[in-house]
Amino acid sequence: MTRFTVNGNPTEYQLAPDTPLLWALRDASNLTGTKFGCGVGLCGACTVHVDGVPTRSCQVSIAELEGTFVTTIEGLSDNRSDPVQRAWLEKQVPQCGYCQSGMIMAATALLRANPNPSRADIRGAINNICRCGTYGRIESAILRAAEIARGG
């Protein structure tokens, strides 16, 4: 049995210790906002926060997470009030939307570490893949989220 906190809720998983976090979240917890993309940690569709650090959930086993705090897109806010979520909607970022939960989680972590990023900072920190190529809108939304977070 593996125990850690998911979106503020203590959670126990009775799964094989080598089960990737992605599958524990999706299959055992029914938190389907975290998406399977490539399965090798390159695309970022499965990005969640582990103790506040953006983490590719397909690359970490639940055994490695004992006692940690995991936040998924569902735990970011219950009403889309997070500045990144608000900016994403305002800037109409998604096309297909598949990568968006992982992208939002990566952007949220960036803004916690750097509340006033430049476009170069964003390009250096966000290495998630958007197959639709909305990178310009993603950058604009992250800049707008920084403004929103500052009260603008």
Q: Which residues, listed in sequence order, are joined to residue 20 by a DSSP beta bridge?
A: 61
Tokens of residue 59, six digits: 């690359």
| pLDDT tens for each residue of the chain, 152 residues long | 899 999 999 999 999 999 999 999 999 999 999 999 999 999 999 999 999 999 999 999 999 999 999 999 999 998 989 999 999 999 999 988 899 999 999 999 999 999 999 999 999 999 999 999 999 999 999 999 999 999 98
Note the CATH number of domain 83-149. 1.10.150.120
DSSP 86-136: HHHHHTT--SS-TTHHHHHHHHHHHHHH-SS--HHHHHHH-----TT--HH
Task: Provide the pairing of β-strand 9-13 with 69-71.
Answer: unpaired
pLDDT tens by residue, 26-53? 999 999 999 999 999 999 999 999 999 9
Position 65: which residue type? L
pLDDT of residue 152: 82
Tokens of residue 26, six digits: 């999706």
pLDDT of residue 90: 96
pTM of structure: 0.95
* Average pLDDT of every residue of the chain: 96
Q: Does domain 2-76 have CATH number 3.10.20.30?
A: yes
pLDDT tens by residue, 59-72? 999 999 999 999 99
Contacts (Cβ under 8 Å, ≥6 apart) of 106 = 44, 47, 54, 125, 126, 127, 128
CATH code 3.10.20.30 region(s) in the chain: 2-76
CATH code 1.10.150.120 region(s) in the chain: 83-149
Dihedral sign of CA atoms 85, 91, 94, 100 in order: negative
Backbone angles phi, psi at 71, to 5 degrees: -120, 130
pLDDT of residue 97: 87
Query: What percentage of the chain carries pLDDT values higher than 90?
Result: 95
